[in-house]
C-alpha cells in the first residue's frame, strides 16, 4: 500500500516481513506478547495507514524475535517524516550551535520531534519512573518556559536514543546556555543595585525623596499661668486714678 509517508510504508513492510519470517499469525503474536495487545492491534500496525504506537511496534518486533532497536528506529523515522510534512522548516538539532537558553530549548524541541515525539508520560516512564524526567518538566521545556537541569538533560537524551558519543556535545551546549543565564541574572542583579543606589544617593541635579517626618501629636492649648489669672482684665491709667480721687 502506497502512503504519503514513505517511512511509514517502510515500517509497515518491515513488520510484515518479520511476521512472515517468523511464520506466525497475528493471534500467535498476541499470545507471545502475553496479550498485552490484541491480534487486531497487531494487524492494524502493518497496514501502513497510520503510525502505530511505539509500545505496539516494540512488542510486535519482540514477538517475532526481531530487533527491537531497529523497529524503534523505523518508528522514529516515520514519526519524524510525518512531522516534517506538517512543518517543512523543521531542522536537525545542532548542539554545537547552542549558546543560550532559547537556542538550547529550540534544539531539544527538534530532537524531541526527530525522536518521534512520543507522549510525555511515556517519556517519564522510559526514563525510569523515579522522577528523573517528570512529564510536566518536559512539557514546560517544550513550551519554552523552563530549562532542563543537567541530569534531566541526560535522561532526555537517553529516552530519545541519542548515542553516547553525542552526549558530550549536548553537555557542552547545556553549559554554554547555563553560563549565559548566569551572566544575565548577574547583570539584572547589578542593575537593580544601581537603581536602588541612584534613588538613595541622587546626583547634583537630582533630589532624593525625603523621608516623611513623623507627625507630632496634637498638643492641648497652653493654659494661662496662675499669675495672669489673678491680674485684673483692665488696668486704670494714672489720669483716671487722679480723677477718681
- pLDDT grade for 91, boundaries at 50, 70 and 90: confident
**pLDDT score for 195:** 84
In this predicted structure, the answer to whether residue 101 has a pLDDT above a threshold of 90 is yes
Q: What is the 3-state secondary structure (H, E, C) of 1-13?
A: CCCCCHHHHHHHH
Q: What is the 3-state secondary structure (H, E, C) of 114-152?
A: HCCCCCHHHHHHHHCCCCCCCHHHHHHHHCCCCCCCHHH
**pLDDT score for 188:** 87
The size of the chain, in residues, is: 245
**pLDDT score for 215:** 58
- More confident position, 198 or 218: 198
Whole-model pTM: value is 0.72
**pLDDT score for 58:** 96
- More confident position, 69 or 204: 69
In this predicted structure, the answer to whether residue 28 has a pLDDT above a threshold of 90 is yes
**pLDDT score for 236:** 44
In this predicted structure, the answer to whether residue 209 has a pLDDT above a threshold of 60 is no
In this predicted structure, the answer to whether residue 244 has a pLDDT above a threshold of 60 is no
1: cell is 500500500
Average pLDDT over residues 228-245: 42
**pLDDT score for 240:** 45
124: cell is 517519564
> Using CA atoms, how far apart are residues 211 and 110, in angstroms rounded to an integer?
55
Amino acid at each position: 500500500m502506497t502512503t504519503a509517508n514513505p517511512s511509514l510504508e517502510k515500517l509497515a513492510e518491515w513488520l510484515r516481513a518479520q511476521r512472515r519470517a517468523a511464520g506466525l499469525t497475528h493471534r500467535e503474536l498476541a499470545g507471545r506478547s502475553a496479550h498485552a495487545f490484541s491480534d487486531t492491534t497487531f494487524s492494524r500496525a502493518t497496514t501502513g495507514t497510520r503510525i502505530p504506537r511505539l509500545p505496539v511496534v516494540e512488542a510486535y518486533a519482540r514477538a517475532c524475535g526481531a530487533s527491537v532497536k531497529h523497529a524503534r528506529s523505523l518508528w522514529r523515522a516515520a514519526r519524524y517524516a510525518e512531522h516534517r510534512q506538517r512543518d517543512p522548516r523543521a531542522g536537525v538539532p545542532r548542539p554545537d550551535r547552542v549558546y543560550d537558553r532559547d537556542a538550547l530549548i529550540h534544539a531539544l524541541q527538534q530532537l524531541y520531534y526527530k525522536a518521534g515525539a512520543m507522549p510525555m508520560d511515556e517519556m517519564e516512564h522510559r526514563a525510569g519512573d523515579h522522577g528523573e524526567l517528570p512529564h510536566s518538566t518536559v512539557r514546560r521545556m517544550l513550551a519554552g518556559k523552563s530549562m532542563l537541569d543537567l541530569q534531566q538533560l541526560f535522561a532526555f537524551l537517553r529516552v530519545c536514543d541519542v548515542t553516547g558519543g553525542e552526549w558530550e556535545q549536548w553537555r557542552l551546549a547545556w553549559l554554554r546556555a547555563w553560563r549565559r543565564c548566569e551572566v544575565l541574572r548577574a547583570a539584572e542583579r547589578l542593575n537593580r543595585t544601581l537603581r536602588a543606589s541612584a534613588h538613595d544617593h541622587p546626583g547634583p541635579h537630582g533630589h532624593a525623596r525625603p523621608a516623611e517626618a513623623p507627625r507630632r501629636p496634637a498638643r492641648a492649648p497652653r493654659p494661662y499661668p496662675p499669675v495672669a489669672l489673678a491680674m485684673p482684665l483692665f488696668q486704670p491709667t494714672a489720669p483716671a486714678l487722679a480723677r477718681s480721687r
